[in-house]
Structure 1
Amino acid sequence: MTKLSDIKIAIVDDEPSIVTMLQMVLRREGFHQLYAASNYAEALDLAARVVPDIVLLDITLPDGSGLDLCSKFREYGNPHILFLTAKATDLDVLRGFAMGGDDYITKPFNPLEVTARIQARIRRLESDVSMPTPAKRPDPGVYRYGRFTVNEAEGALIVAGQPVSCPAQVFQLLLHFCKHPGIVFSKTQLYDKVWGINGQGDDSTVLVHIRRIRERIEVDPGNPKLLITVRGLGYKLVKESQA
Structure 2
Amino acid sequence: MKEKILIVDDESEIADLVEVYLKNDGYEVFKYYNATDALECVGRETLSIAILDVMLPDMDGFTLCQRIRENHLFPIIMLTAKVEDMDKITGLTLGADDYITKPFNPLELIARVKTQLRRYTRYNTADVSLQEPEIEEIDIRGLHIAKKSHKCFLNGEELTLTPMEFNILWYLCERRGNVVSSEELFEAVWGEKYLDNNNTVMAHIARLREKLHEPARKPKFVKTVWGCGYTIE
Band the TM-score falls in, shorter-chain normalisation: 0.7 to 0.9
2:97 match: 102
* 1:69 is aligned to 2:61: no
CA distance in 1, matches of 2:60, 2:117: 27
CA distance in 2, matches of 1:87, 1:234: 29
TM-score (norm 1): 0.82
1:121 match: 116
CA distance in 2, matches of 1:23, 1:151: 36
CA distance in 2, matches of 1:101, 1:144: 27
2:18 match: 22
Deviation at 1:58, TM superposition (A): 0.7
Cα distance per residue 1:115-165 (max 9 Å; x no partner): 22222223223443336598577xx52111113111222222211232222
**Structure 1 stretches lacking a partner, 5+ long:** 239-243
How many corresponding residue pairs? 231
Deviation at 1:62, TM superposition (A): 1.1
* 1:181 is aligned to 2:209: no
CA distance in 1, matches of 2:128, 2:174: 12
2:144 match: 149
CA distance in 2, matches of 1:11, 1:191: 26
CA contact (8 A) 1:133 1:141 kept: no
- Out of 7, 17, 26, the residue aligned to residue 3 of structure 2 is 7
Helix, strand or coil at the partner of 1:6: coil
User: What are the within-5 Å matches in structure 2 for residues 82-231 of structure 1?
Assistant: 82-128=77-123, 129=125, 130=127, 132=129, 135=132, 141-199=136-194, 203-217=198-212, 219-231=214-226
Q: Read off the aligned partner of 2:119 and give its amino acid letter.
A: R
CA contact (8 A) 2:7 2:50 kept: yes
Range with bigger deviation, 73-82 or 12-21: 73-82
TM-score (norm 2): 0.85
CA distance in 2, matches of 1:205, 1:96: 10
CA contact (8 A) 1:67 1:96 kept: yes
Helix, strand or coil at the partner of 2:29: strand
**Structure 2 stretches lacking a partner, 5+ long:** none
CA distance in 2, matches of 1:188, 1:229: 14
2:53 match: 58
Deviation at 1:15, TM superposition (A): 0.9
CA contact (8 A) 1:85 1:105 kept: yes
CA distance in 2, matches of 1:208, 1:102: 11
| Distance verdict in 2 for CA 1:136–1:75, change over 3 Å | closer
Range with bigger deviation, 68-77 or 206-215: 68-77
- Out of 15, 31, 34, the residue aligned to residue 29 of structure 2 is 34
CA contact (8 A) 1:70 1:100 kept: yes
RMSD: 2.6
